[in-house]
């Protein structure tokens, strides 16, 4: 199965986003801990929300791309079926 550059890029960005989210949550918590535990948790949740939003957007792009490729396959199949029906309808009847 050949994968396009677009699919490879989306896969890479999705994995990098997960790594960014996991590492970023820890760094954010440690960075804001000097302001207090509750403040650090709030900023960590804010960061986590933004990181997960990026992940959802990338996954949505990937699903949209898959849906588009599948619709192209279905369109080609439907055109083949249509052409085969036209050929069988145009044959002489006895």
pLDDT tens for each residue of 40-75: 999 999 999 999 999 999 999 989 988 999 999 999
**9 in a structural domain:** yes
**30 in a structural domain:** yes
Sorting pLDDT into bands at 50, 70 and 90, what band is 86? confident
How many structural domains is the chain composed of?
Answer: 1
**Residue-number span of the structural domain to which 11 is assigned:** 5-87
**54 in a structural domain:** yes
What is the number of residues in the chain? 94
**93 in a structural domain:** no
Contact 48, 25 (CB under 8 A): yes
Q: Which tokens hold the place of 82? A: 């249509």
Buried/exposed code over 70-92 (b: 16+ C-beta within 10 A; e: otherwise):
eeeeeeeeeeeeeeeeeeeeeee
**94 in a structural domain:** no
**47 in a structural domain:** yes
pTM score? 0.75
């Amino acid at each position: 199965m050949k994968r396009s550059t677009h699919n490879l890029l989306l896969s890479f960005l999705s994995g990098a986003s997960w790594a960014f989210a996991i590492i970023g949550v820890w760094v954010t918590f440690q960075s804001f801990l000097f302001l207090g535990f509750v403040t650090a948790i709030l900023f960590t949740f804010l960061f986590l929300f933004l990181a997960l939003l990026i992940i959802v957007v990338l996954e949505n792009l990937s699903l949209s791309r898959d849906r588009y490729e599948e619709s192209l396959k279905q369109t080609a199949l439907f055109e083949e079926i249509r052409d085969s029906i036209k050929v069988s309808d145009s044959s002489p009847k006895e």
